[in-house]
Structure 1
Amino acid sequence: MDKQTISRDGTRIAYRRTGQGPAVVLVSGAMSTGATVAPLAAHLSDRFDVFVYDRRGRGDSGDTRPYEVAREVEDLAALIEAAGGETALYGISSGGALVLEAAASGVPVRRAAVYETPFADYGGGAEERAKYTGQLTEALEHDRRGDAVELFLRLTGLAPGMIANARRSPMWADMEAIAPTLAYDDAVMGDGLVPRDRLAGITVPVLAVAGSASPEWLRRATKSVADAAPEGTYHVLEGQNHMVEPQVLAPVLAEFFSR
C-alpha cells in the first residue's frame, strides 16, 4: 500500500488508489488483506476510482485496542473522506457485513454491494456461531493463533486433511500473523443472523450477490439481505462459488455502481 489516511481514533489505515471515475471502496473478508480484492480492483479501474485498503490489524495498517466494530466504520469514513466525501462500497464475505453496517450507520455511501455475507439463517446457525465465538475467544486469549486459524477454517467447511496440509504450508505463518483479526470479523458478524432491523434502515440501493455453486444456505442468506434492505436486489452468478472470479463479478458491480 502506498497511501495512508488516519482514522478517528488515530489508527493508520493503508490504501492504494487506482483508476478514474466515481469512487469505489473494496472491503476484504476474514483472514485477508487488501491484496485479496486487488484483482477485482484491476477489473474495475477502467471505469472507477478504486480504493483497496488493509483493514486495521492487517498488512500495512495499524491497530488500536480495544476493538469495536464502530472503529472499522470510522476507518471506512476516513477512506471515503480521502475519496472526496462519497463512494460506493463493496464487501466480500464478512467484509460485506462491515459494508452493510457502514451503510446503516449513515456513512456517506451512494450504493452498497456485498458478496455472500455468511449470515447463518438456518436451524442451529446461531448456536454454531456462539460456539465458534467462545472457542475463538479462548484460543486468542491464550495466544494459540494456530488453533484460532484452524477454528476459522473448520467454520468455513474446509476438510481436516486440507487444514493439516495448510498447517504445513509456507502461508501458515502469515495466517497466524493476522489471526487476532478473526475476532474483529466475528464481532462484525454479530450473532450470525441476518440483522434485518439494522438493514431496514439503509437508505441507499443494496446489491446482494451469490454464486450458484455455493451452498444453498449462503444463497438463502444473501437473498435475505436483499429482502431486508428497502432498496435491495438479489443477483446470482452462474457457476460461481465463495471464491468468486473477479472477471465474472466485475461487470455486475460496474453496472450496479453506474446506475
Structure 2
Amino acid sequence: MSDSVAPPTTGTVTSADGTTIGYRQVGGGPGVILLHGGMQASQHYTRLARTLAEAYTVYVPDRRGRGMSGSHGDDYGMAKECQDLEALVNQTGAHLVWGHSSGGLVALQTALTHPGIHKLAVYEPALSMYGAIPLGWLPRFERELDQARPADAVITFTKGTKAHWAFAVLPRRLLALMLNRYLRKEEQALKPGEVSMRALIPTQRYDGRIFAEVASSEGYAELDLRADLDVLLMNGKRTPPPLRNAMDALQRTLPHARRVEFPRIGHEGPATGDPERVGEELRAFFAQPHERR
C-alpha cells in the first residue's frame, strides 16, 4: 500500500429509478468498479482499492440500502442491482468490474447484457443455482431480524450457509454472547462515514432475495457468447467446499474463463484475508490485452 495514493473522495450516481448510489473513489488511470458482498459496505474494501489505485481509478459503491446510497425500495430485485451498476459504468466510463459474493452475482448478471463491461472478475459469487447457497435459513433469519435480534440472525445465516466452521460446533448461546460483544465494540470504533455491522446485518435479507431469484435462472452460459468480455474466476482454498464446487460448475459453464485459487485465504479474503494478494491478481488480469475468440 503506497503512501503516494491520495485519500479517497466520494461521489454519487443516479440509478434508473432515481435512487442515489454513493461511492468512494481513489487512484488514477482506467476505471475499475469493485462491488462488495453481503453484510459489507465500501469501507471494507479500502485495502483492496488502494492496491489497485496506483494503476487504476477505483470506484467502490455502497450497494443500495447501505451507507451513502438510497434504500432498497419497494420493488427490489436483481434488476435494481444491475441498474445501479449500469449507472456507475455509464457515468464513470469504467470498463473493468469485480464483484465479491453477492456483489459477484450482480456483476455477472449485469455483464450478460451491458457492453460497457469489457473485463469481469468475480470472487466466489453466491451461486445458489448450483446449490452452493442453501436457502432454508431465510425464514428464521427474517423472523429474528423482525424481533430485533441481529446476532441471532447472523448465527442462523452462518450456520445455514456453512460459512464458518466455528458456527457449526459452538452453541448458539455462546455465539450470541460473542457476537453481541463484538457489535458493541465495533460501533465504538467506527470512523466518520462508516456503517456499523449492526446496520448492515438486516441487508442480508435482501441479498437472500437475489440468491433465490438467481437460483431459478439457467446459469451464465450467455457470458461465453460475448466476444468483448474476458472473465476471471477467483476463490480461496479455505472456502467451504460448496462454494468451491460452485466455482467448478461455473468454470465448466465458462470454459474460456481464467481461474485463480488462493491457498491461504477463504471467502472473506478480499476484505479481511489478503486483499493485497487479490489485488495483485486483479492488476495482472486487467492489464492483459483482450483475448479475441
**TM bracket (short chain):** 0.7 to 0.9
Question: Alpha carbons of 1:137 and 1:17: their partners in 2 closer, same or farther (altered >3 Å)?
Answer: same
Matches within 5 A, 1:131-150: 131-141=136-146, 144-150=149-155
Gaps of 5+ in 1: none
Question: What SS does the aligned partner of 1:67 have?
Answer: coil
TM-superposed CA distance for 1:121, in Å, is 7.3
1:212-248 CA distance string (max 9 Å, x none): 2323332221222222125322211222222311111
1:103-159 CA distance string (max 9 Å, x none): 12436211111112243577xx47x72311232343445555443333223332342
2:281 aligned residue (249, 252, 256): 252
Q: Distance in 2 between matches of 1:237 and 1:217?
A: 16
Instruction: Tell me whether 1:220 sits opposite 2:245 in the alignment.
Output: yes
Instruction: Tell me whether 1:186 sits opposite 2:199 in the alignment.
Output: no
TM-score by length of 2: 0.77
Q: Retained in 1: the 8 A contact 2:15–2:87?
A: yes
Q: Distance in 2 between matches of 1:153 and 1:172?
A: 19
Q: Distance in 2 between matches of 1:216 and 1:167?
A: 28
Q: Distance in 2 between matches of 1:166 and 1:2?
A: 31
Matches within 5 A, 1:1-259: 2-63=10-71, 64-84=73-93, 86-106=94-114, 108-119=116-127, 125=131, 129-141=134-146, 144-154=149-159, 155=161, 156-157=163-164, 158-159=166-167, 160=170, 161-169=174-182, 170=184, 174-190=196-212, 197-202=218-223, 203=226, 204-229=229-254, 231-244=256-269, 245-259=274-288
Q: Distance in 1 between matches of 2:90 and 2:128?
A: 33
Q: Retained in 1: the 8 A contact 2:236–2:264?
A: yes
Question: What SS does the aligned partner of 1:58 have?
Answer: coil
- Partner AA of 2:280 in structure 1: P
TM-score by length of 1: 0.87
- Partner AA of 1:218 in structure 2: L
Question: What SS does the aligned partner of 1:56 have?
Answer: coil
Q: Distance in 1 between matches of 2:282 and 2:216?
A: 22
Count of residue pairs the alignment pairs up: 254
Question: What SS does the aligned partner of 2:264 have?
Answer: coil
Question: What SS does the aligned partner of 1:113 have?
Answer: strand
Q: Distance in 2 between matches of 1:9 and 1:171?
A: 37
Question: Alpha carbons of 1:121 and 1:217: their partners in 2 closer, same or farther (altered >3 Å)?
Answer: farther
Q: Distance in 1 between matches of 2:207 and 2:243?
A: 17
- Partner AA of 1:252 in structure 2: E
- Larger Rg, first or second structure (1 or 2): 2
TM-superposed CA distance for 1:163, in Å, is 4.6
Q: Distance in 2 between matches of 1:56 and 1:22?
A: 24
Q: Distance in 1 between matches of 2:231 and 2:134?
A: 25
Question: What SS does the aligned partner of 1:114 have?
Answer: strand
Q: Retained in 1: the 8 A contact 2:23–2:61?
A: yes
Q: CA RMSD in A?
A: 2.5
